Structure 1
């Protein structure tokens, strides 16, 4: 294959003829380590899908992403090395980073027309580092660069492999500054985290990345019995599942706790398994495997609360999915949604220790069935009120004005 190949979108959208596509008024090349049809990357995948689905008509975006899901050993069937048009405004190129021909085709594609904006979704990813180097070496030319660190500069994230990350940032930041890189934060919380580590940063704050529409909540059904808790997320130190399990070992009321998510860190998962073996008889904990994106909300609707002691979320799609499904959230205060969580029948725990979590869970377990049902109704109703209040523009439309 000598040139980029256009293909049918995974959902079945035919690529329109080139002559039928409108001329791009503003051309964006975006990068991300993982995208659909993958799902293990969590919230950033949903953010990017929403951004691409809501583009203004005069933007044209090419998203460059890996040709396989997170930690997958084989590529998506029929997509590696192909350019897939999603619609008239966006396309996705599925890249094998170890295939030189893919890189050559990609550079030719990017250099075929002027690029107004390079939009990078990660600070550390190969899919951000290499494009920055390509711009610095003048292999490609772009008018502006916008970098979304996606929570990578939160205190919780920086506490993991902290020496390597801080050393890299110390060496990398001067180049970013020289290139005039600007930054996107999803909330005031992330804006403060960026400025704490990159004081010179020019930061655009835009959190309009929620793909969940304002649709009716599922009917609330709360059977009598133990408190039913769920964890949905990547099983990694950042999501802090061990603290949830430590709390479960000391609760005094009967509870059930189901865990869903990819085992991203096997050493960390081993620690989780050892805690599960220490559970008292009145607590049942089960690992239920991974969830595809379309299974997440139906799953949440079956539980009394989402237990999520995360060390930090720049956005937190999974929180909104839980609330939209009528599932209150028990969470740390390291997310942008503390006020919404508390207002929607949930609990924000600070500091998020096992002792504090266990006390909260025992109180929730003491509630009668009617109160559990009312809390689930409150969660769904309050989410819909919040969703109707979102008024920010599309992130890339905002970036066009912000970057000049």
Structure 2
């Protein structure tokens, strides 16, 4: 994150009523935000939404005072308002009732045109929506960005609990005439399956990505092992275990480097046991989290990204991989199928170890020149995708009530 985005910690608190004269006032909530990065793609999506909004939009963001999995708060930020361009960010400790009360007293003096929450289930979404329903928080409209939580893959995890919750929560959302932000037609269809009455605004994720892909280096004449990389949260949704089960079945030499924050410790224990049982022709290593500024460089150092995800509403790491001229081996549960089939890599429709092992075996059998050709094709796929990006911000769309479905 650029250093000039946040006001220095010694700066005075931002007046809570600074938005009162702004044309379009928005309260945004997100469980995780910068300077943290372990929350993955949604952190970058929210950052870009704030930074790219027009001067007519005055956003206030409420977020946690620490990163995913962190036990300590960001130094000097807990319970503070921090400036970020035209936006103001409050870093909240969920275990400090005084901070909740102080924040509510400040927010209740404001009147927002829009409450925009990033998650269907997170407490950082539930609390403000309920507050609006009870009249404790003023917002004319409410929008939910589910960030892939309505996909079949996401709903398959803890499905019983989610079905029970949705039965109750659906009534609350319906009573407020809540609108939804979907990144793709596919995600909009997922939302409509859960909430048939919903108004869904389709607006592609905007994120800061290089204008050009990384240059493809010359490769050695002698073939070496296929260099695969996995970048993502260590959680069932990202499906690292399937990647490990697949490489265990591959007969050719393979290197698999794993990067990402550890979100689910029980799931990580399963992955550890799979790592320990890998055959001698497979070298795999977990490297921990990687800073967002280094992700493209890490990906550019590999022959392919492997991501058997259960579902993505966008898939930032896929865009970053293509930006690194690194082909992507991906499940068919993302909006990237046509881009990958058009040269960006390969789509594996079956989520089985056998299907993924067969695809990895095929890539491992390629010559250095064939791997280089695949990387050049990934770079071209990125250029085509990048050229087609729209530049409209979701908050700008909402301020003009444009793009309704």
Partner Cα separation in structure 1 for residue 43 and residue 385 of structure 2: 22
Contact 2:342 2:381 in 1 (8 A): yes
**Residue-by-residue CA offset, 1:64-109 (whole Å, 9 max, x unaligned):** 000000121110001001111111x211110112222222222233
The alignment status of 1:243 with 2:242, answered yes or no, reads yes
Give the structure 2 partner of residue 93 of structure 1: 90
CA gap of 1:63–1:221, structure 2 versus 1, over 3 A, is farther
The alignment status of 1:52 with 2:54, answered yes or no, reads no
What does 1:4-403 correspond to in 2, within 5 Å? 10=6, 23-87=21-85, 89-223=86-220, 224-402=223-401
Contact 1:10 1:37 in 2 (8 A): no
Query: What SS does the aligned partner of 2:344 have?
Result: coil
CA shift, 1:181, in A, is 0.6
Partner Cα separation in structure 1 for residue 202 and residue 393 of structure 2: 12
Partner Cα separation in structure 1 for residue 7 and residue 289 of structure 2: 21
More displaced, 94-103 or 159-168?
A: 94-103
Contact 1:15 1:85 in 2 (8 A): no
Partner Cα separation in structure 1 for residue 162 and residue 262 of structure 2: 22
CA gap of 1:216–1:279, structure 2 versus 1, over 3 A, is closer
Q: Number of residue pairs matched?
A: 396
Query: What SS does the aligned partner of 1:264 have?
Result: coil
Contact 1:208 1:392 in 2 (8 A): no
Contact 1:234 1:264 in 2 (8 A): yes
CA shift, 1:346, in A, is 0.4
More displaced, 13-22 or 26-35?
A: 13-22
Partner Cα separation in structure 2 for residue 122 and residue 166 of structure 1: 16
CA gap of 1:232–1:11, structure 2 versus 1, over 3 A, is farther
CA shift, 1:63, in A, is 0.7
Contact 2:110 2:138 in 1 (8 A): no
CA RMSD of the aligned region, Å?
A: 2.2
**Which stretches in structure 2 are left out of the alignment for 5+ residues?**
none
Contact 2:27 2:59 in 1 (8 A): yes
Partner Cα separation in structure 1 for residue 285 and residue 205 of structure 2: 34
Partner Cα separation in structure 1 for residue 34 and residue 274 of structure 2: 33
Q: With structure 1 as the length reference, what TM-score do the two structures score?
A: 0.93
CA gap of 1:109–1:11, structure 2 versus 1, over 3 A, is closer
CA gap of 1:15–1:306, structure 2 versus 1, over 3 A, is farther
Query: What SS does the aligned partner of 1:334 have?
Result: coil
**Residue-by-residue CA offset, 1:292-348 (whole Å, 9 max, x unaligned):** 111111100000000000000011001000110111000000001111122233000
Partner Cα separation in structure 1 for residue 295 and residue 124 of structure 2: 27
CA gap of 1:354–1:81, structure 2 versus 1, over 3 A, is same
Partner Cα separation in structure 1 for residue 217 and residue 199 of structure 2: 45
CA gap of 1:38–1:221, structure 2 versus 1, over 3 A, is farther
**Residue-by-residue CA offset, 1:224-250 (whole Å, 9 max, x unaligned):** 411000000001110111111111111
CA gap of 1:214–1:366, structure 2 versus 1, over 3 A, is same
CA shift, 1:12, in A, is 5.5
Contact 1:9 1:15 in 2 (8 A): no
Contact 1:68 1:76 in 2 (8 A): yes
Query: What SS does the aligned partner of 1:91 have?
Result: strand
CA gap of 1:384–1:16, structure 2 versus 1, over 3 A, is farther
Contact 1:220 1:377 in 2 (8 A): no
CA shift, 1:385, in A, is 2.1
Query: What SS does the aligned partner of 2:242 have?
Result: helix
CA gap of 1:320–1:94, structure 2 versus 1, over 3 A, is same
More displaced, 121-130 or 206-215?
A: 206-215
Partner Cα separation in structure 2 for residue 361 and residue 222 of structure 1: 19
CA shift, 1:402, in A, is 3.2
**Which stretches in structure 1 are left out of the alignment for 5+ residues?**
1-7
Contact 2:14 2:81 in 1 (8 A): no
Contact 2:13 2:81 in 1 (8 A): no
